[in-house]
Amino acid sequence: MNAVNKRKEELREEVLTRRSKLSEEEWQAKSEKIIQHFFSDDLYDMAKVVHCYVSMNERNEVCTDALITKMLEAGKRVVVPVTNFSNVLLHHIEIDSLDDLKSNKWGIREPDAEEEEEVPVEELDVVIIPMAAADRKGNRLGYGKGFYDRFLAKTNARKIGFVFKEFLFDEIPVEEYDVKLDVIITEDGPLIP
């Protein structure tokens, strides 16, 4: 493990430990503020096809359940990721409801990719990305597997990261393959690096 990877892993562990200590009320309130800021952003209004992560609520990720439901009700096409751990790639499947999702063996809620046709990344207008932390320069700290960096390198969609403000730093360790975000949204509002 190189020095940057070691620093990333240490920061990731610290952030995830702190995030796990948020109360359910605090987690919900912070998530709702972030979602409201996204709804008031022009990117939301202009987007027809939105790729959105399905939050792992037991890990206190910014909750996207209400966001996904509201986007579907508004007539947006909502695409969610399906993880393929054998080749470390994401597949992109359109859903009609949160009821389309089932927990996989890692506890990640996903649609059945074998029954659905994959949406080409060229069709995506906006990608909402999960993360542990971010910095004011648009860098994100993911969960260390590289799923999103591989995917984001292939799309021209606007890249939006949701993160709680206590995990937005002035600078985080990065590597050359890390893909920058176009917008970061915290409870305080959007930040354009």
Please check if 8 is assigned to a binding site: yes
- Cα 133-90-176 angle, rounded to 5 deg: 50
Fold of the domain spanning 3-191? Rossmann fold (3.40.50)
- Per-domain residue ranges of the chain: 3-191
d(CA 147, CA 60): 19
What pLDDT does residue 1 have?
Answer: 64
146 known ligand binder: yes
Question: Would you say 150 is a known binding-site residue?
Answer: no
User: What confidence tens digit (pLDDT) does each residue in 115-170 have?
Assistant: 778 899 999 999 999 999 999 999 999 987 778 888 998 999 999 999 999 999 99
State the Cα–Cα distance between residues 92 and 3, nearest whole angstrom: 33
Segment 93-112 shows an average pLDDT of: 88
Give the pTM.
0.92
What pLDDT digit, counting tens, does each position of 16-69 carry?
A: 999 999 999 999 999 999 999 999 988 899 999 999 999 998 899 999 999 999
- Judged by DSSP in three states, 158 sits in strand
Q: Is 7 annotated as a binding residue?
A: no
